[in-house]
Amino acid sequence: MDDLARQIRESILHISHHSGHGHIPTCFSIVEMLCAVYRTMRHDPKNPRWEDRDILILSKGHAALGLYCTLAHLGYFPIEDVYAFGAFGSDFGCHADRFKVPGVELSTGSLGHGIGVAVGMALGFKMSGSTRRVHVIVGDGEANEGTVWEALMVAANMSLGNLTVLFDNNRSQSRCLPIDNPEAKFSAFGFDVSSVDGHDTDAIARALKETSGRPRAIIANTTKGAGCPTLVTDMFAWHRRSPNPAELKTLLGELR
């Protein structure tokens, strides 16, 4: 685990402990994806509305705490601001509000929405001749929603080569409706597909640089709670739970 990914995870734990909110395992699942996307895309923490910036949409909006901590560590705002996570009067809700948090491009939360908006943005950029790119993080649980597959079909039909879907394949739906062999499914839907270790930032970054005239899916094979064996072992119990002081100490120790 690189330093940035570790720092983001530590912040997620501290803020979840402090606030009593947060989906820690799902946030941990996407930390390396966030690091890789922001390492490779055009963005400016000091000018979040820069008109030539690339776009990241967190379609699995319940991982907002992971996005906040990443943006904070990249310099969009002080990490101290995020400690009010979920509180009345805070700008940092458990699902993000694009009008309140610099760097957040879309207010998400209800699953299966961000991918469709991402398709529209990518289409708009393509039509206007812009080179801006759109990245969208979709969860495998989220992919139970039919709207995800609608949007993928449209993206492929419109040859949106400026769209990259990062598919968080953490197998969260193993107890109900698993998305088996997502590589084959995305390929069948007309996407170029890369399959990577979702906790290898360098591998994800390399995959992000591969482009063609077709939309790309990066199947990020991840582990819910990655970095803390306690979370991995019991991911369902920790789905929406904050650590008490003793647990926080244990989890921080596991990260090191």
Partner 1 sequence: MRQQFRDSATRLAGTDERLILLFGDISFYLFNDFLRQYPGRLLNVGICENTLISMAAGMNAAGYHPVVHTIAPFVTERSYEQVKLDLCYNRFGCTIVTCGGSFDYAWDGATHHCYTDLELMRMLPGMEVMQPGSKKEFDTLFTSCYADGNPSYIRIAADEHGLDLPVEFGRGVVVKEHPGADTTVATAGPILGNVVTACSDLPVNILYFPTIKPMDRELLARFGDTRFVVVHDAFGLFEAINASSPVAAEYHGLPDDFCCHYGTLRDIRGKLGLDAAGIRSRVEASIRTGNGYAKTA
What is the C-alpha separation between 12 and 110, in angstroms, rounded? Answer: 21
- The one segment of 65-73, 153-161, 190-198, 218-226 that binds partner 1 by CB under 8 A: 153-161
> At a CB cut-off of 8 Å and minimum separation 6, what does 22 contact?
12, 15, 16, 65, 85, 86, 94, 240, 242
For 172, phi and psi rounded to 5 degrees?
-70, -15
Contact 115, 168 (CB under 8 A): no
In this chain, which of 119, 138, 193, 251 binds partner 1, going by CB under 8 A? 119
- The one segment of 23-31, 101-109, 176-184, 191-199 that binds partner 1 by CB under 8 A: 101-109
What is the C-alpha separation between 105 and 90, in angstroms, rounded? Answer: 18
Complex with partner 1: residue 24 or 160, whichever CB lies closer: 160
What is the C-alpha separation between 90 and 87, in angstroms, rounded? Answer: 5
Question: According to the binding rule CB under 8 A, does residue 115 interact with partner 1?
Answer: yes
Complex with partner 1: residue 79 or 154, whichever CB lies closer: 154
DSSP β-ladder status, 55-58 and 163-169: unpaired
For 95, phi and psi rounded to 5 degrees?
-125, 140
Complex with partner 1: residue 74 or 158, whichever CB lies closer: 158
| Helical (H) or strand (E) element with 55 | strand 55-58
In this chain, which of 127, 129, 209, 213 binds partner 1, going by CB under 8 A? 127
In this chain, which of 90, 144, 147, 187 binds partner 1, going by CB under 8 A? 147
Question: According to the binding rule CB under 8 A, does residue 128 interact with partner 1?
Answer: yes
Complex with partner 1: residue 64 or 106, whichever CB lies closer: 106
Contact 106, 57 (CB under 8 A): yes
Question: According to the binding rule CB under 8 A, does residue 99 interact with partner 1?
Answer: yes
In this chain, which of 45, 102, 120, 190 binds partner 1, going by CB under 8 A? 120
In this chain, which of 25, 86, 93, 116 binds partner 1, going by CB under 8 A? 116
Question: According to the binding rule CB under 8 A, does residue 84 interact with partner 1?
Answer: no
| Helical (H) or strand (E) element with 4 | helix 3-19
In this chain, which of 118, 208, 220, 235 binds partner 1, going by CB under 8 A? 118
Output the CA angle 79-82-84, nearest 5 degrees: 140
Q: How far is the CB of 112 from partner 1 (least distance, A)?
A: 8
Question: According to the binding rule CB under 8 A, does residue 141 interact with partner 1?
Answer: no
Complex with partner 1: residue 111 or 204, whichever CB lies closer: 111
Complex with partner 1: residue 8 or 121, whichever CB lies closer: 121
What is the C-alpha separation between 218 and 237, in angstroms, rounded? Answer: 28
Contacts with partner 1 by CB under 8 A lie at 98-99, 105-107, 109-110, 112-113, 115-125, 127-128, 130, 146-147, 150-151, 153-154, 157-158
